[in-house]
Amino acid sequence: MASDLLTTSSDSGPGAADGLGRARDGERTALTLSGDWTTETAARREAQLAALTPWSGTDLVLDLAAVERLDTAGAWLLLRTAADAEASGLAVTWQGLSEARRTLVEKVADHEDAPVEPKRPSLLDGFVARIGEKTVAAGGNARDLVNFLGLVSLALLRNLARPGRLRVTSIVYHVERTGFDALPIVGLLSFLIGVVLAYQGADQLARFGAEIFTVNLVGLSVLREMGIILTAIIVAGRSGSAFTAQIGTMQVREEIDAMRTIGLDPVDLLVVPRLLALVIALPLLTFYADILGIAGGALMSWVVLDITPFEFIQRLQASVEVRHFFVGLVKAPVFAFAIALVGCFEGLKVTGSAESVGLRTTTAVVESIFLVILLDALFSVFFSVIGV
């Protein structure tokens, strides 16, 4: 029977005299382990075990009776050694394992194999999966928005039933911010849209000798659709995003939690004034946009078609009924309600980070514009059905 002992001369401190003993008896090899088998000695132990390969014989015995300390790194090295020996055809036997160490080795063995990387889905599967995820997320967001609509409706009815609860100062302030301060941009864009409609309309109608119908085109398109749509989109990007950013910032600063703590309802204090202010401001902005849009069309008709402003107004009165003006104007409070609702809803969903404020602000603008277009399509179908 032959035996040898491998030691590391650089060991110091506790476990300095430890080593790895190997004894051979025919086809049987016994490894006697001693000292520390831990993370600190893992590199040394790995080199010692590597010096024993290649394996030969039929049996391998791992004796851990003299091991002082054993952790997951040491257990992993021994398990890897046992696996290499088994791969060479040896039968491995463990000896000297206490119950605690046996449990440790078993746990390491259970987690020895690295998790298998999931198979990457194909391009089509990934595309369909993303559509499904986005659809589920959109459905959940729509459900939450409907719940918020019910909450706001109750708060609005509660405040209208008791007008003394309304914060008039806040409403007037937000009317100024969402309405009066938006006059320059709304007026400029509406005027330019009127100019574009008149110019493009005149260019197309001139092919049929019907330039005079440019007045009809400008009047109907501005009063029924372009005035309210353009104004609502501007307000959604300007005021709706501001509602989200303002309420979201308060959410980050925990001011809304403080309101709830002292018994104040954030919906009454923050949502209702903004909603009422926008419902008041948007119809006024729409009327202003209609006037500026028609003025732009009249100016371009004068320049391109030599139709004087007086003739333009006469033709407008004769060809465009006043009901078309009210068709556009009646949409304004509904669009305003939707924009304010989405802006406040996304603001209250902000979590405690500045990144969340930006994300929710972007989401609020996209959702508001989507709702405006959707509601306008529904209004168009409704007015068509009733013949307006």
CATH code of the domain covering residue 90 = 3.30.750.24
349 with 360: CB under 8 angstroms? yes
Q: Is residue 136 part of a domain?
A: no
Q: Is residue 137 part of a domain?
A: no
Question: Which residues contact residue 289 at a Cβ distance below 8 angstroms, ignoring those fewer than 6 apart?
Answer: 186, 187, 190, 227, 228, 230, 231
Please indicate, yes or no, whether residues 31 and 159 belong to a single structural domain of this protein. no
Please indicate, yes or no, whether residues 242 and 343 belong to a single structural domain of this protein. yes
Distance CA(370)–CA(356), nearest Å, equals: 21
Q: Is residue 135 part of a domain?
A: no
Distance CA(152)–CA(11), nearest Å, equals: 73
* pLDDT beneath 50: ranges in the chain: 1-17
Res 235: pLDDT: 94
Res 115: pLDDT: 57
Of 110, 126, 154, the one marking the end of a domain is 110
236 with 337: CB under 8 angstroms? no
Res 85: pLDDT: 81
Q: Is residue 29 part of a domain?
A: yes
Please indicate, yes or no, whether residues 171 and 213 belong to a single structural domain of this protein. yes
Res 6: pLDDT: 35
Please indicate, yes or no, whether residues 89 and 213 belong to a single structural domain of this protein. no
Please indicate, yes or no, whether residues 104 and 160 belong to a single structural domain of this protein. no
Please indicate, yes or no, whether residues 105 and 240 belong to a single structural domain of this protein. no
Please indicate, yes or no, whether residues 195 and 57 belong to a single structural domain of this protein. no
User: Is 254 strand, coil or helix?
Assistant: coil
Q: Is residue 53 part of a domain?
A: yes
Res 65: pLDDT: 82
Q: Is residue 332 part of a domain?
A: yes
Amino acid type, 7: T
Most distant CA pair in the chain, distance = 122
Please indicate, yes or no, whether residues 21 and 166 belong to a single structural domain of this protein. no
Structural domain boundaries enclosing 204: 142-386
Would you list the DSSP string of 319-343? HS-HHHHHHHHHHHHHHHHHHHHHH
Q: Is residue 351 part of a domain?
A: yes
End-to-end alpha carbon distance in the chain:
109
Res 114: pLDDT: 54
Please indicate, yes or no, whether residues 91 and 150 belong to a single structural domain of this protein. no
Please indicate, yes or no, whether residues 83 and 147 belong to a single structural domain of this protein. no
Locate tokens 């197309």: which residue? 204
Q: Is residue 120 part of a domain?
A: no
Token code pair at residue 265: 């309802």
Amino acid type, 34: S
140 with 242: CB under 8 angstroms? no
Number of domains in the chain: 2
Q: Which residues partner with 59 through β-bridges?
A: 28, 91
Token code pair at residue 110: 């259970």
Please indicate, yes or no, whether residues 220 and 321 belong to a single structural domain of this protein. yes
Res 112: pLDDT: 58
Please indicate, yes or no, whether residues 274 and 161 belong to a single structural domain of this protein. yes
